Amino acid sequence: MTAIRRGTRSPVAVVEDCLDRIAERDGTVNAFVTVLEDEALDRARAAEQAVESGRSLGPLHGVPVAIKDAYAYKAGVPNTFGSRAMTDFVPESSAPLVERLEAAGAIIVGKTNTPEFASKGVTDNGLVGRTKNPFDPERHPNGSSGGSAAAVASGMVPLAQGSDHAGSIRGPASACNLVGVFPSPGRVPQGFRPDAFKYDLPYVSSGPLARTVTDAALFLNVVAGPDPSEPYSLPDTVDFTDAVSDSIAEASIAYSPEFAGFHVSEAVRDVVGSAAESFEQVGARVSRVDPAVDDWDAPHRALTAGLEVLFASFAEDMLAEHDIDLLARREQIDPHVVDRIEAGYEYDAVSYKQSNVARTAVFDALQSVFETHDFLLTPTVAVPPIRADAGPPDTVDGHRLKRAHDLVLTWPVNLTGHPAASVPAGLVDGLPVGMQIIGPRFDDRAVLAAAATVEDVRPWDGHYPN
């Protein structure tokens, strides 16, 4: 961005380099569903003319960005949700975050792959197939924002957008050695219609996937902020780029290596534990703290209820707003997605609302931690990136897994709404491992400051393929 502003790098050359890398690498990685080559080059030429004429430039002027092919609609561009049933869906208007990116000068170069309707933690679907992890093509980049993460990790774009229902930004960030931020719900406007109140169980946010904390902060500065059309919109404006230089020297930090009752592999515990201890190098205090929740199965059932009802309500919204009947197209949809939609219709209103009792226990437990600590650290994912030919493991270090989300230590935050990020913690046998940083409610700035501290103490910029 600085080089573009100074005129030492042409926006056209930057976008051409990006498109060349997509052409060279995406045949292997399979990160993109749609590449907007002609439009991106047209916008790059216009961006170059703006630089040459001395016009005022936006904070992302000329920067190539990828957006997830799920809820980040771009007007006039097919939005498939990774589904064969949605190949004819072309939204007429853009999502607020896409409008903000383009208003800031960003150039959208394409839509990235996602599991069908962002429905699972690996990025694979019947429409375009599996996205591969740039660190090892035989392994997954996790999901559901795996296409965006793989595009950034492989150097095809410097920035990409993801969305997070239960860890769908943070999990791919962990697998691809990236910074992935789950902002406070309401920090980034979603713009959903016809149901503007859609995402309350679980909380869902859109955020950046980037190689550096500074890049993630710049992305957030552009897309975050109040929006009068968003009922959950937070009223304050945060300067994320300034947060990168905030000191956390006096911070009290809690570390929970097996957060939410997870079994975490010994190799991951070792790497994340070392990353957690690195905060002591800047004067922070780190202590072992486990949030006190008597029964973690109950909040997981609440998450499951929320996701299943969410899928059923999404089917209703698509029918009401776009005359698309997903269940009438069930032959084009993966059976596990159909099952989730149909399961959502089975909940009665009272049992669905009672899910909030279990999530309240998690909320209270996290709030108790933040009464005496400034941050909570956990592993992001219990194991390194998994092999695509083996499926998810049944056990971790001899402990049998029993819950659908037992590999990602991220979903409790989607129940409580605390801001969080995953940052690279290190490598296990050459594969990335992430550390999750959870902050107090609404203190997104502190999360970015802590992430920047890890980057300063344990830089990861040399740990990428290509």
Number of domains in the chain: 1
Task: Give the model's pLDDT for residue 257.
Answer: 95
| Catalytic pick among 10, 94, 144, 163 | 144
Active-site choice (10, 83, 145, 168): 168
145: its two tokens: 């924002």
State the catalytic residue, choosing from 68, 74, 132, 198.
68
> Which CATH number is 88's domain given?
3.90.1300.10
120 is catalytic: no
For residue 56, what pLDDT is reported?
85
- 144 flagged as catalytic: yes
Q: pTM of the predicted model, to two decimals?
A: 0.97
Asked if residues 418 and 440 have their Cβ atoms less than 8 Å apart, the reply is yes
For the residues of 88-118, what is the DSSP string, one character each? T---SS--HHHHHHHHTT-EEEEEE--SGGG
d(CA 28, CA 283): 44
The encoded tokens of residue 134 equal: 């740039």
Q: What is the mean pLDDT of residues 98-126?
A: 97
Residue-averaged pLDDT of the chain: 95
Q: Which domain holds residue 254?
A: 2-457
φ, ψ (nearest 5 deg) of residue 15: -70, -40
Query: How high is the pLDDT of residue 124?
Result: 97
Task: Check if 265 is active-site.
Answer: no
Is 124 inside a domain boundary? yes
Identify whether 463 is part of a domain: no
Choose the weakest-confidence range: 73-77, 191-195, 369-373, 431-435.
Answer: 191-195
Measure CA of the first residue to CA of the last residue in the chain; give whole Å. Answer: 21
Question: Looking at residue 224, what is its pLDDT?
Answer: 98
Residue 53 half-sphere exposure, CB side, CA atoms within 13 Å? 9
Q: Which 3 state secondary structure label does DSSP give 121?
A: coil
pLDDT band, very low/low/confident/very high, at 406 (cuts 50, 70, 90): confident
CA distance 461 to 452: 13
Domain presence at residue 452: yes
465 belongs to a structural domain: no
With cut-offs at 50, 70 and 90, classify the pLDDT of residue 363.
very high
Largest CA distance in the chain: 64
The pLDDT value recorded for residue 466 is: 74
Q: Is residue 466 part of a domain?
A: no
Q: Is 281 left (phi over 0), alpha (psi -120 to 50) or beta?
A: alpha
